[in-house]
């Protein structure tokens, strides 16, 4: 379901589900010599092994942040959805357990936000489920259980994939931030070396 991510010799990590991998520059000097870029260009462009320029480092970092916000929103939705599905499964199971006992089920249900009403439920063979977009369908208890369980399994699987995506994304953010810092630090070091050399020549 999710593509694997592995490092290549060039330091480029394979993408995962559309999330591009970050390239780690281990030796800034070697990278600049091989790519023919100066420091400003290096911050502007990181080139993959096929010499096709990818978005600027800082823009790539911003893209990662945008994707992270979207994934976190999806994660929150699923984390809220899963308990709702489990609650619905419990309700259907309770109705099935009461069936044939001759005992009515007394329950409170939400009419609207913050407003509840009490209901008396006799033996029933069916329930109504909201499917979204103001659509409700009636199912037998067995069909409802099967549908809800399927939705629950899918939601849990999706959440697991999202968690893995977020971890991969955070790894790429870290790699990009470290790479930016290494390029900046290398540039600062080179400026100091040149400045020291200039002072030595003048003296």
Q: Rounded to whole angstroms, how far apart are CA atoms 137 and 126?
A: 10
- Side-chain half-sphere exposure of 156, counting CA atoms within 13 A: 10
pLDDT at 32: 67
Q: Rounded to whole angstroms, how far apart are CA atoms 170 and 152?
A: 27
Find the mean pLDDT for residues 5-20.
61
Using alpha carbons, select from 34, 16, 152 the residue that is nearest to residue 25. Answer: 34
pLDDT at 180: 79
Q: Which two tokens stand for residue 33?
A: 């010599």
Length of the chain equals: 203
Taking a C-beta distance cutoff of 8 angstroms, is the pair 162, 75 a contact? yes
pLDDT at 48: 43
Tell me the pLDDT tens digit for each residue of 25-62: 777 777 667 666 666 665 655 544 334 333 457 778 88
The CATH code for residues 55-189 is 1.10.287.370
Please, which residues have CB within 8 angstroms of residue 87's CB and are 6 or more apart in sequence? none
- Does pTM surpass 0.75? no
Of residues 90 and 47, which shows the higher confidence score? 90
Q: Rounded to whole angstroms, how far apart are CA atoms 197 and 194?
A: 5
């Amino acid at each position: 379901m999710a593509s694997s991510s592995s490092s290549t010799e060039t330091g480029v990590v394979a993408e995962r589900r559309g999330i591009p991998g970050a390239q780690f520059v281990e030796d800034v000097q070697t990278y600049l010599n091989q790519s023919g870029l100066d420091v400003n260009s290096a911050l502007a462009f990181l080139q993959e092994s096929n010499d096709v320029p990818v978005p600027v480092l800082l823009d790539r970092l911003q893209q990662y942040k945008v994707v992270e916000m979207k994934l976190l929103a999806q994660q929150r939705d699923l984390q809220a959805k899963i308990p709702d599905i489990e609650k619905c499964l419990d309700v259907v199971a309770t109705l099935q357990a009461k069936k044939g006992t001759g005992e009515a089920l007394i329950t409170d249900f939400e009419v609207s936000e913050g407003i509840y009403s009490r209901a008396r439920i006799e033996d029933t063979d069916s329930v109504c489920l909201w499917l979204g977009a103001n659509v409700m369908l009636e199912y037998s208890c067995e069909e409802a259980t099967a549908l809800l369980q399927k939705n629950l399994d899918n939601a849990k699987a999706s959440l697991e994939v999202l968690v893995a995506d977020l971890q991969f994304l955070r790894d790429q953010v870290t790699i990009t931030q470290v790479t930016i810092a290494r390029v900046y630090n290398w540039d600062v070091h080179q400026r100091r070396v040149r400045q020291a050399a200039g002072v030595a020549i003048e003296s």
